[in-house]
């Protein structure tokens, strides 16, 4: 079968190893847990390699209410620059229908997405390392009585309820902390506690959430701080977290994302927002 004739097919959890192998071909870390979550909560699309060796390209669409994210757009190095990235991305956009679709791009992929009708709308920058504790106030661990409040705070920030997705993310998280007006999750990926989403009414509460999880987790943490919150980024850097690269957020058709952006200090990760 020729590459041009290879169809885009649905991915299933059975494709997990092939997805990990494809990412490794592009020097992505083998993030087993991340891929597994996304394949479970989203719809994956793939193109089988014509040479019979795994996958040639993938993308994953995660739909939550009126919004959907696209992630894990990766093409095997031997099939690069043949339009496969555009094919799997366009397939995901079409599958989303009228939903507002966004993604976080690398500098390499941004030009492709803009050619497909995506428009830059903010973004985030990663901060990685061991947090130097400044002794400030910290959020407290969640209790069962707080779960309904987390649903409420998340819906306020996002502009719609996403309880089913949150239930999965809460189940996966090693740490969940809460303040009067905010919450954050800490999920361990490859030995690093990724803190997000960080939802708060103000920067001081966002810092308290990060401190709380950092103290509970110990070791290295990562926070992808939204570009809109430069003050929090500066605090992260001053606290020993090194910048690890920006990721612009693009929205298909330039549509406005719902919710209160000022409360979204960091996404769960760049794949899910």
pLDDT per residue rounded down to tens, the chain (273 residues): 668 778 999 999 999 999 999 999 999 999 999 999 999 999 999 999 999 999 999 999 999 999 999 999 999 999 999 999 999 999 999 999 999 999 999 878 899 999 999 999 999 999 999 999 999 999 999 999 999 999 999 999 999 999 999 999 999 999 999 999 999 999 999 899 999 999 999 999 999 999 999 999 999 999 999 999 999 999 999 999 999 989 999 999 999 999 999 999 999 999 999
CA gap 242, 226 in Å, rounded: 15
Q: Would you state the pLDDT for residue 3?
A: 80
Q: What distances in angstroms separate CA 95 from CA 62, 91, 212, one per listed residue?
A: 10, 6, 39
What are the beta bridge partners of residue 199?
183, 264
- Among the listed residues 259, 222, 17, 192, the one whose alpha carbon sits nearest the alpha carbon of residue 125: 222
CA gap 145, 256 in Å, rounded: 33
Q: Would you state the pLDDT for residue 1?
A: 65
Degrees (nearest 5) of the Cα angle 88, 154, 268? Answer: 45
| 260 contacts 56 by C-beta, under 8 angstroms | no
| 151 contacts 161 by C-beta, under 8 angstroms | yes
230 Ramachandran zone, left/alpha/beta (phi>0; psi -120 to 50): alpha
| 27 contacts 108 by C-beta, under 8 angstroms | no
Q: What distances in angstroms separate CA 155 from CA 98, 184, 254, one per listed residue?
A: 20, 14, 22
- 161, with CB counted inside 10 A (0-12, 13-18, 19+), is middle
The two three-digit tokens of residue 265, written as one number: 């200090």
Q: Would you state the pLDDT for residue 133?
A: 95
First to last CA, the chain: 37
Total number of residues shown for the chain: 273
Query: What are phi and psi for residue 218, nearest 5 degrees?
Result: 65, 160
């Amino acid at each position: 079968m020729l590459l041009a004739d290879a169809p885009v097919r649905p991915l299933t959890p059975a494709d997990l190893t092939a997805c990990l192998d494809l990412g490794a071909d592009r020097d992505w870390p083998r993030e087993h847990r991340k891929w597994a979550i996304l394949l479970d909560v989203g719809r994956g699309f793939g193109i089988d390699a014509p040479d019979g060796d795994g996958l040639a390209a993938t993308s994953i669409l995660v739909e939550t209410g009126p919004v959907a994210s696209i992630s894990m757009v990766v093409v095997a190095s031997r099939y690069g620059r043949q339009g496969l990235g555009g094919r799997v991305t366009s397939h995901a956009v079409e599958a989303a229908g009228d939903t507002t679709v966004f993604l976080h791009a690398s500098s390499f992929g941004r030009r492709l997405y803009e050619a497909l009708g995506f428009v830059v709308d903010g973004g985030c920058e990663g901060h990685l390392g061991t947090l130097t504790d400044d002794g400030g106030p910290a959020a407290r661990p969640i209790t069962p009585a707080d779960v309904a409040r987390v649903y409420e705070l998340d819906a306020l920030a996002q502009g719609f309820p996403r309880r089913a997705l949150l239930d999965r993310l809460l189940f996966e998280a090693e740490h969940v902390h809460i303040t009067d007006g905010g919450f954050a999750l800490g999920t361990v990926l490859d030995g690093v506690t990724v803190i997000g989403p960080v939802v708060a009414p103000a920067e001081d509460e966002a810092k308290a959430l990060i401190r709380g999880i950092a103290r509970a987790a110990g070791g290295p943490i990562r926070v992808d701080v939204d570009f809109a919150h430069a003050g929090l980024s500066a605090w992260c850097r001053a606290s020993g977290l090194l910048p690890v690269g920006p990721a612009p957020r693009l929205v298909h058709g330039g549509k406005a994302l719902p919710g209160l952006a000022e409360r979204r200090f960091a996404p769960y990760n760049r794949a899910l927002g």
